[in-house]
Structure 1
Amino acid sequence: MRNRLVLACALATVAGTASLATAAGLKVNEQGAKAMAMGNAFTAQADDPSALFYNPAGIAFLKGGQFSLGTVNIFVPSTEFSGTTAISGDSPSAGSAPVFEKAKQDLFIAPNLYATYSFESMPLSVGLAINAIYPLAKSWDDSSAFRNQIMNIAVKPINFQPTVAYRFDSLNLAVAGGLDVTRALVTMQTMPYSAGPAGTNTAYELGLMGLDGTATDVGWNAGLKWQALPSLSFGAAYRSEIDLKIKGNGNFLATTPAGFSIIGMTTGATSPYSRTRAASTVSTTITLPDALSLGVAWKPTNKLTLEFDAERTGWSSFKTLEFKFDSPQFSNFNNKPKALDWKDVWCYKAGGQYALTENIDLRAGYMYDKNPIPDSTLGPLLPDADRHSFSIGQGFHNDRYSVDIAYMWTHFVNRTVNNQNMTDLLGENGTFKSDVHLFGGSVTVKF
């Protein structure tokens, strides 16, 4: 019982502070419509204001002032699951009844804003990016067989990135550095259960648990771009880890005698229909992963540009998670570290652009993303899997402005796991299926 409730809180906050989402884990790589149309292969090109995200050194090669406003709309059809969960079926046969569950459809709207300025009198550029790198929303029906693990969660992050870049004209080389100031807001609801005596295959409802929290912390980023030849460029970008120190409130509504017991109330003082609420402040620390991107772009002709990128994300920063509740009523939930055991992964991106006319470009791309979550800790909050993403797009531009649009389809490889644990009422035995559709657009003005 104690482990079950702690896990519910822990998983929810992981989602919020890994602060997802079409890159493996929770990260959203689609932060610019032009790059998105080329499978996010943009580290070496980095030739519009979204370079602030993909490779900040690229802004050193932009002219004058530029302002870009865009959005990526991520439509997530219902994630499907078929199999058993720890509470599927009635006691004393809990965990044995096959179920088919569908998550509620989700829509993320992740805006991005970029502003850059290059000085005429010196090879210096400055920029500011405002975007959402780690958004997440997931909702299962209140009566689903996952309700003890997650009912709904919403994560609303925002990242502020002030950046400075310097260009060495004699070398056709630029370097950049900046800060990442991340603010995250998290809300979650779950219905924790308690396992019965060993070997009985029973599960008892405890009540309803709600959690909300916030965090604001700072990291840094750096980039390098080298225009080795007019037709060949190289890029590298790094984003540091961020230790998010989350503080918030937990609210537990006890609805059963077992729920009363876990917060230290005697069941003899309650009627079958009694309810009581307990509240506590809560804190934890999550380390957002670092990321290293390497890219090469080649123009075999004046009209065609090709790029290949490789990106490593250090998800191994998600090792364990432990919460500290301040209220004595929540003492049963303390000192319960939860293993996560995520792994570092590589993502590979390939894309291209063809200049159909002087003002119109056609784009396409592909991205393969390994998932970082091992079978042992995979669950309904983020049923991740290896991903194949295919993208297309178009750009229109002249000397004063540009308009870019993009579409991406992400297919999750079917993920089958067998990690159901009746002792702690964790996990599931079955298969998750998911797909995601993304639509991006941006308008850039040059002045």
Structure 2
Amino acid sequence: MKRLKSLAVSCLLVCTALAGTAQAEGFALYEWGARGNALGGTMVARKPDASAVAYNPALMTQLEGTQVMAGVSAIIPSAKVDVKYNGQTYTGEGADNVWTPPHGYLTTQLKDNLWLGMGIYTRFGLGTEYDDSNWAGRYNIYNAEIQTISYNPNIAFKLTDKLSAAVGVEFMTLKLLMDKKSDPAAANPVVGNNPGDTSRDIDSNLEADSYGWGLTAGLHYQFNDQWAAGVSYKSQIEQEAEGENNFTLSAGAQSIPAAVLGYQDCDVRGSVILPDMLAFGVSYTPIPELSIEVGALLTRWSLYDNLAIYHEPPFANGAGKLVNQEKDWKDAWRYSIGVEYAATPWMDLRAGFTYDESPAPGNRIDYLIPTDDRQLYSTGVGFHWDSYTVDLSYTYIVASDAHYDVRRADGVYEGNSYDGRTHVLGLSLGYKF
């Protein structure tokens, strides 16, 4: 028991340290393990490893003894955005960054029909940064980061020899950073008079953090040696964030009377609902060396209807102000297939494909997430000997081009995004006691 506690604490410390940079382009993250990355996330029904805590905790009932796993996914995104204004086209390009969401798991069998598991992973994250903070879309956003860390203990139990169930609690922390510009001398400050003119820009740097609670659950049924099915659920989590917004005035803005500006450093608070997720999977094992799983995951983004941030006085000359961005996103599906083949007793080969729907309708796409639907092509390899496992994965993500309609209230101009490409490298290390 002392060794088990030591392993749990070590896993917690490592994952929390890595999570300081746990962001990726996009909002919902599904990179919860290198094996899962390689298989397109089809880990809801097939033979599990310790990452079952994240994918479907009911699968823990197939894990013997005590198992630990830890790792990281390196996400390297890129995209270009064209902004059109008065016959001119201004191009913005994503900055070269590498985001590294971590994952860590521990499972242990307590009794013949009872298991306990702990997971630390990232369910939501975003890192969008443009090379030049003076690019034409700066009145909507030029840098944004959303970091979440989920701490997720679960308990799993066998109801029958074929049916298993699990339930857990999810404690999620959130950190938010949003940097944007405004032009106080323009008729509409969030749009500005001219994207090419930065002389009057005011720089807004908002930081806030929060935490929230949710529930997780899972079911798994083993029909026979060949067929199995699973379902898992992660509930919505409401975040009540608090922080501050600091403003920096350019030389041109400093010449404008303060009574006109109203941009003063202030405390901020806001509320957002992060959506629930429902995942399904059916696996088929025609021979012991080969397994195939098809799956679908629903993320209910319709719960994310707006991003409302209230600025306390003295902002807006002491009156305070609610800055509200309507999102009106739609629920989005993610469809996957994954194949795993045991090429040798010590090496598994893996491949997967995923079609990932964008939750943002055409009239709500902005520069925060400058892409549309995505296709994910993944592959990987797993090595195992004695009590050790090493999993490696690579995913290539192709995002569809997106078109922007003019939304002056949100600082969005007419334009297009294109060349949306992302590389994801995954590594997981495991040990079985």
TM-score (norm 1): 0.85
Cα 1:137/1:335, change in 2 over 3 Å: closer
Over the residues paired in the alignment, what is the CA RMSD in angstroms?
A: 2.4
How far apart are residue 96 of structure 1 and its match? 3.4
- Is 1:291 aligned to 2:277, yes or no? yes
| Corresponding residue number in structure 2 for 1:35 | 36
List per-residue Cα deviations over 1:247-286 (Å, max 9, x = no partner).
1111122336767879x5368xxxxxxxx97211111110
Matched, 1:387 2:382: no
Aligned to 1:310: 296
Deviation of residue 82 (structure 1)? 2.6
- Relative to structure 1, the CA distance from residue 183 to residue 260 in structure 2 (aligned partners, 3 Å threshold; closer, same or farther) is farther
Counterpart amino acid of 2:300? Answer: G
> Counterpart in 2 of 1:245?
240
Query: In the aligned structure 2, how far is the partner of 1:409 from the partner of 1:314?
Result: 25
Conserved 8 A contact 2:311-2:322: no
Name structure 1 gaps, 5 residues minimum.
Answer: 1-18, 89-94, 268-275
CA 62–435 in structure 1, closer or farther in 2 if over 3 Å, else same:
same
Moved more, 134-143 or 206-215: 134-143
Which residue among 76, 84, 105 is the counterpart of 1:114?
Answer: 105
After TM superposition, the structure 1 = structure 2 runs for residues 207-286 of structure 1, keeping only pairs within 5 Å, are 207-255=202-250, 265=259, 278-286=264-272
3-state SS of paired residue (1:427): coil
Task: Check the 8 A contact 2:146/2:174 in 1, yes or no.
Answer: yes
Equivalent residue for 2:81?
Answer: 81
AA in 2 matched with 1:299: T
- Correspondence for 1:132: 122
C-alpha deviation, 1:71, in angstroms: 0.8
1:430 aligns with 2:416: yes
Aligned to 1:172: 162
Relative contact order, CA 8 A, sep 6+: which one is greater?
Answer: 1
Question: Does residue 150 in structure 1 map to residue 132 in structure 2?
Answer: no
| Aligned-partner Cα distance in 1 for 2:124–2:408 | 32
Aligned partner of residue 223 in structure 1, secondary structure: strand
What secondary structure, in the 3-state scheme, does the structure 1 residue paired with 2:302 have? helix
Cα deviation, residue 111, structure 1: 1.1
The separation in 1 between residues aligned to 2:363 and 2:345, in whole angstroms, is 53
The alignment status of 1:59 with 2:54, answered yes or no, reads no
Residue 379 of structure 1 contacts residue 427 of structure 1 at CA under 8 Å; is this kept in 2?
Answer: no
Is residue 366 of structure 1 aligned with residue 333 of structure 2?
no
Alignment match of 2:90 (pick from 99, 103, 113): 99
Deviation, structure 1 residue 194: 4.2
Which position in structure 2 is the counterpart of 1:192? 182
TM-score, normalising length from structure 2? 0.87
CA contact (8 A) 1:289 1:313 kept: yes
Secondary structure of the residue that 2:59 maps to in structure 1? helix
Residues 347 and 367, structure 1, Cα contact 8 Å, conserved in 2: yes
Q: Does the CA-based 8 Å contact 2:170-2:215 persist in structure 1? A: yes
- Secondary structure at the counterpart of residue 48 of structure 1: coil
- Greater displacement, 248-257 / 106-115: 248-257
**How far 1:160 moved relative to its partner?**
0.4
Partner SS state of residue 287, structure 2: coil
- Inter-partner Cα distance in structure 2 for 1:336 and 1:402: 49
State how many pairs are aligned: 404
- Shift of residue 197, structure 1, vs aligned partner: 4.6
- Shift of residue 298 of structure 1? 0.5
Alpha-carbon shift at residue 193 of structure 1 (Å): 2.2
CA drift at 1:186: 2.1
Superposed displacement of residue 381, structure 1: 1.5
Taking a change above 3 Å as real, the CA distance of residues 197 and 211 of structure 1, as seen in their structure-2 partners, is: closer
Work out the CA distance in 2 between the residues paired with 1:222 and 1:423.
Answer: 40
Residues 161-215 of structure 1: CA distance to partner in whole angstroms, max 9, x if unpaired?
01111113x43211001111111122232221247459x9934834111111100
Aligned equivalent of 2:193, options 199, 202, 207: 202
Q: Report the 3-state secondary structure (helix = DSSP H, G, I; strand = E; otherwise coil) of the residue aligned with 2:369.
A: coil
SS state at 1:221 partner = strand
Taking only the aligned residue pairs, the percentage that are identical comes to 27
How far apart in 2 are the matches of 1:136 and 1:323? 18
Q: Report the Cα offset of residue 241 of structure 1.
A: 0.2
Q: Hey, what's the Cα distance between the residues in 1 that align with 2:429 and 2:127?
A: 27
